[in-house]
Amino acid sequence: MMNKLAKQLSLMVKRRPTLQTERRNIVFHREHDYRTCLKQLSHVGITPVKTNDSLRSICCYADRTRSWKHLHNHPRVAFVERDRKVKAHEVKSPINSALVIKSRIPWHVNRVKAPPLWLAAHFGNGVKVGILDTGIARHPDLRIAGGVNTIGGKSFADDNGHGTHVAGIAAATGQRKIYGVAPKVKLYAVKVLNADGAGFVSDIVEGIDWCLSHGILIMNMSFGLNGDSQLLKNAVRRAKSKGAVMVASAGNSGMQFKQIDAPARYPETVAVASTTRGNQVALFSSRGRRIDVSAPGVNILSTWLKGTYVRESGTSMSSPHVTGVVALLRSVRSGLSPSQVSRRLKMTALHIPGGLDAAGYGLVQAAPAARFSCYKIRSKNRHQIATNRAKMPI
């Protein structure tokens, strides 16, 4: 039965992309079936676009002119899905030029109460943080510990700017101009998006897998898709089970849709919305269930290509604030589980207008989150906090 399935799969895919193909992920229930199909593909000279041993998935160029129904319904195939594209959550600013820096600690880093925690947290020293994005460019205010390219190249250098900007918010060193939230973390560039700020789900999954294999248990994902992906959901779920805190931007659809993007809407992530300097929810920030906390995301100053600094807006900019806070928390309390980290962030967030579906529990606060005791707050009080926040005006 399995040999027949392997041969059928080899007939359904192409060696290279054409106008009649699209990338699809085939996921198997069992390790043996996964290995047998890989062997059969190799036998007929087909090299998959990607494979993932942990999730038993094969990404191939699928022939759209043929019916895939029998593979979708095969008892040994968990599921088959299109390898969807994700996009960075960035709102382009009207002016994107180098700026003069007045203070080495930007307002938005102060706003999330990071500096009061720096000494106790040793500035996040040694904590590994993966930035899953367009890569990270060399910059005098960034210290890159390593990285990987999952989109078909060797370099993890940034050719877009988005990943460098996100990295600076989380971890700019302050050696030249500005500090990020956690200036001394071990920063890893996980290049999963191309020069246009786009990438496939399979690229993201490979990046997550690489982080786990290198002991990187804090990951920032400033991108999303409106649709869904079971493969991405499985990868995020597996990462959390391994102890990883996955921080994801909610999206930039404003009130257009009634849900936030994936992977932010998955319960295993910390979903982040955007706020303005006036502590209001940004107009572009996506609304919907599953937002956890908010962070600054409008006109955020950070590192850019060619050693410059620019201001950018988007929930992409909000997410790394929370990622940096998580790094500081784990520097102070290394034993915190992903669920405990999420709870601290939510229970100590600063109340802001908007309600749960826009602002989540409020503006993330690093120092209070580090002081918070999970055991001193009574369940009655926790219920009251949630009730009060649910009643906040939208």
> Looking at the annotation, which residues are catalytic?
133, 162, 316
Q: What's the DSSP call for residue 376?
A: T
Give Cα separations from 233 to 49, 54, 201, 287 (angstroms).
Answer: 20, 14, 10, 20
Positive or negative: CA dihedral 328, 329, 334, 338: negative
- The two structure tokens encoding residue 54: 């942990």
Helices of type H across 59-192: 69-72, 107-111, 115-118, 162-171
Q: In this structure, is the dihedral angle defined by the CA atoms of residues 215, 246, 268 and 335, taken in order, positive or negative?
A: positive
Rg of the chain over all Cα atoms, to the nearest angstrom = 21
| Cα 178 from Cα 63, distance rounded (Å) | 50
In degrees, rounded to 5, the angle at the alpha carbon of residue 163 between the alpha carbons of residues 150 and 108 is 150
Q: How far apart are CA 312 and CA 317, in angstroms?
A: 7
Tell me the one-letter amino acid at 370.
Answer: A
Sign of CA dihedral 289, 291, 292, 293: negative
> In this structure, what token pair is assigned to residue 335?
């034993």
